[in-house]
Structure 1
Amino acid sequence: MDPLSPWIDRQYRHAAAAMLRSISPVGIVKARPGFGQTVVPKRGAIVASPVLGDWKPEPDYFFHWYRDSAVVIDALRLLHADGTLGPEALGHLGDFVRFSLSLQQLDGRALARDPAWRAAVAPDFIQYLRSDAELAAVHGEEVVAETRVNPDGTLDISTWSRPQNDGAATRALALLRWLKGGAAIGAELAADIADLLHADLAFTLARWRRPCFDLWEEQSGRHYYTLRVQAAALAEGAPWLAELGGTEAAAACGREAHAILAQLDGYWLAEEGFYRSRLLDPPARTTKDLDIAVILAALHADGAEAAHSPRDPRMLATLASLEALFDRDFPINRGRPPGRAAALGRYEGDGYFGGGAWYVSTLAGAELCFRAAAAAAPAEAAGLEARGDAFLATVQAFTPENGDMSEQFDRATGEQTSARHLAWSYAAFITCIAARRTLAG
């Protein structure tokens, strides 16, 4: 028997149950007394973590991130497809779509016009508030560039890295996959999904040329991850629009998807042997050039194209470069037993909560190998599958017996750090195992 199988089965069930805690967490009330807020979530909101952190020391991730929520709703699709979840999955999807549509009505101009809410903010928190001018600019399509909102469907009033333009694209991809997956989506929900898709594709079509903050919300530029998911959303959205009679819009989406992919060809660094993660203005090289975000882009955007996908030899070369980096930099990778791959972080010099290994990153290494194996010749496929299992063995080694997954595990001790019960960590496990199971037929 495959030695990983018993653990995978247990962990898959646990990941599914744990991820569901972040979906419509209506039973959890989040108090932010410093900001004068009490947040009561609405159905359809998906929080990055249901744990009520306050940065002392755990981070406050009780927000609905556009990208994270899309990753979770895509993993939910897989749980429904394999029978782990029944009709309740469609209920969650409907709630998510309706919540997402409701966000289109947000208007920061109301907050800017009425400053009374600022009086409830504690004096030492005023420094973290957004300006009236910034809030007044948030309406219409600008809402989708917000990065995150409160799970009660209100704007985030705190300073944060904005704009971030990957949310509409990742959400569109998740919804298109639900539509293609054969789930029994009723006419009413299908109409709501269509409304949301039209808006997300229009946003992506209009915004892809603009710089924004990266996947990690740290640096503004032209980012591989953002561009790759935008290209995929437009490419997959084009035939959907064409079926609805939107010939002109479909042609525009197809044309712009090709233009984005052509730009991404220029992100390949031949001498270093990896796809760089970003282009900055003014141009500059950075230790963030080699970033797991590129691997995540290939996974989240995976479609029919071979270029910039898990089947791209340059993507596998990028993964090899990341393995070498973290094999060198993380003490937990030294002297590891046979059959275990390197635990992976984000990029060199990462300092966020100690810059440790991420479950999302290490699972991405495994999933990339499994997806590449699915299209490889038998001899190569066997090696890729074994390589993927080696990453999974590392995840197993640093996952406690109860199956709980945080955001990171420490680079030296392996102890879990940062946000507990990160929904994305559980979603990454689900998508990784789904990819592995396709290899078994």
Structure 2
Amino acid sequence: MRRLSALLNFSLLLTALTFPCSLFGVGIFHDLGLADWISYQEPLAFKNLVRNISAPGTAKGSVLASPSKNNPNYFFHWVRDAAVVMDEMVTRYETTVILENKNRYLESLIDYIYFSKLNQQTPNLSGGLGEPKFNVDGTAFSGSWGRPQDDGPAMRAATLIHLAKVWLKEGNKKLVVEKLYDGTANSIIKKDLEYVSQQWKNVSFELWEEVKGHHFHTRMVQYRAMIEGAELANLLFDFKAAEWYLSQASEMEPELERHWSFTKRILVSTLDREDGLDYKYSELDSSVILGINQGHVENGFMSFSDDRVLATVNALEEAFYRLYSINRNGAPGIAMGRYPEDRYDGFNSGASGNPWFLITSGFAEFYYRLARDLNHKQEIKISAVNKGFYRSLGIKRKSYDSYKKGSSEYIQLIEAIHAKGDSFLSRVKYHVDGTGSISEQINRDSGYMQGARDLTWSYAALLSAIRFR
């Protein structure tokens, strides 16, 4: 691996010396296989992600959304983004066999816990835990913003529950009780869980910070927080809390089912809109798929292979293939955006929206996890709802046909799904330059990176997709 990385670095350096601008082009990795590019890009992505944690000039434990301070200014700690990023750190801590690295990751996680506790205790304009972002010194952000954003506490809880379970597996219950969950409402995880359990029925702004209502993504991550929170509470003998969280999760299920539109044949992103943008006419939104990824629990509810999820994936892919000219230039895969009516281009809100790296990587992750999901089923059924999705993979069977586990067709279908995931990573590869830096967006016409530079979530999304690959 190190030898390959060294060869790739030498090759890129030689190219840069010969063609000074080539490191910053589009498609410079065209001739490099996906696996080789991953070997090159993965350590760079993690290095760049770590650089934005407790960065110089910020409080320990803070996570920069991006080091960009102007045009746009993302030099803040977003609760949601930080949870995504630090979940990657938990996974690194859990899986590394190098003690030096494990200790370094642990230090970052402890710092994050203390900074998150500070966020929970800091008075803010949301009036509670739904405050979306904080200044990097831990003080409250006092500017106008879409408040509250109730996915943040749920995602932070899920990340810290992940850490708690790792510590319990290591036999370190004392650390869990001291740092994360002691059964009182003031412990960091329980404070978030109590907030979610009591606030999920209320409207809030979504992850794009543009619309106030009931959102599929928000409710999926809240659902996960309740299910996994109940599991942790039971492990720590907090049985009444576990019962309460499970009761709330049970109530969430029919509310999430309401997002299925029988007329549009998609899972719509928002219901009961009260404020914010009013021009999302298609009701298509990639946040639904991010919600499937980030809100997944192992109970079969809204699984990756759910027909409604597959129909929504297919509709999103068709919409963005038509919308962005770069998707018709012969490059692999489809560059995916937020929603078809998007007017934020990374700098201004009155422009044309673009594909996003974190979403394109998110679709890669979805396909890899879908392949795993289907591989555990005894048969794959084609239905009236999912047939468009399977047709996009080259499957021309009629509704109600099925593929039996172990058959050659079944195996070919699983392989096709995994290959589709690779096509999305290949699209990311096509637009990332030779420095390994990843911005927020991809210009819909030129293919060059655009918007906030070194977006930490972009790195976390890519690393997550690679891991599920």
Distance 2:281 2:301 in 1: 24
Any stretches of 5+ residues in structure 2 without a counterpart? 1-31, 182-186, 346-351, 376-410
Which residue does the alignment assign to 1:92? 108
1:236-255 map, 5 Å: 236-255=228-247
Would the alpha carbon gap of residues 421 and 414 (structure 1) be closer, same or farther in structure 2, given more than 3 Å must change? same
1:425 alignment counterpart: 458
Q: Secondary structure at 1:253's aligned position in 2?
A: helix
1:175, 1:197 within 8 Å by CA — same for their partners in 2?
Answer: yes
Structure-2 residue corresponding to 1:23: 53
| Contact 1:229–1:301, Cα closer than 8 Å, also in 2 | yes
**Cα deviations by residue, 1:120-149 (Å, 9 ceiling, x for unpaired):** xxxxxxxxxxxxxxx4x73xxx1x111101
Letter in 1 for 2:311: A
- The yes-or-no answer on 1:59 pairing with 2:75 is no
Contact 2:164-2:176 at 8 Å conserved across structures: no
Residue by residue over 1:140-171, the C-alpha shift from the partner in whole angstroms, topping out at 9 and shown as x without a partner, is: xx1x1111011111000111110111111001
Instruction: State yes or no: 1:366 paired with 2:341.
Output: no
The one of 344, 347, 352 aligned to 2:336:
344
- Aligned pairs for 1:274-289 within 5 A: 274-281=266-273, 286-287=280-281, 289=283
Whichever residue aligns with residue 408 of structure 1, its letter is Q
Aligned to 1:124: none
Deviation at 1:189, TM superposition (A): 5.7
Match for residue 171 of structure 1 among 153, 156, 160: 156
Per-residue deviation at 1:379? 3.5
The 2-side partners of 1:412 and 1:260 are apart by: 40
Counterparts of 1:9-408 in structure 2, within 5 Å, are: 9-25=39-55, 27-28=56-57, 41-51=58-68, 53-54=69-70, 58-83=71-96, 85-108=101-124, 135=125, 138=127, 142=128, 144-181=129-166, 182=169, 187-188=174-175, 190-194=177-181, 195-281=187-273, 286-287=280-281, 289-337=283-331, 340-353=332-345, 354-377=352-375, 378-408=411-441
AA in 2 matched with 1:159 = S
Distance 1:80 1:313, change over 3 A: farther
TM-score where L is the length of structure 2:
0.78
Verify the 8 A CA contact 2:279 2:341 in the aligned structure 1: no
Query: Following the alignment from structure 1 to structure 2, what is the Cα–Cα distance between the partners of residues 82 and 387?
Result: 27
Going from structure 1 to structure 2, the CA distance change for 1:247 and 1:407 (only over 3 Å counts) comes to: same
Provide the aligned length of Structure 1 versus Structure 2. 386
Q: How big is the shift at 1:81?
A: 3.5
Per-residue deviation at 1:214? Answer: 1.0
Q: CA RMSD in A?
A: 2.1
1:62 is matched by which residue type in structure 2?
A: F
Gaps of 5+ in 1: 29-40, 109-134, 437-441
Q: Which amino acid aligns with 1:43?
A: K
Letter in 1 for 2:291: A
Check whether the contact 2:280–2:341 (CA below 8 A) recurs between aligned residues: no
- Give the TM-score taking structure 1 as reference length: 0.83
Q: Which amino acid aligns with 1:103?
A: N
- The answer to whether the Cα contact below 8 Å between 1:326 and 1:344 also exists between their aligned partners in 2 is yes
Shift of 1:210: 0.3
Determine the C-alpha separation between the residues in 2 that align with 1:215 and 1:356: 17
- Compute the displacement of 1:86 (Å): 2.6
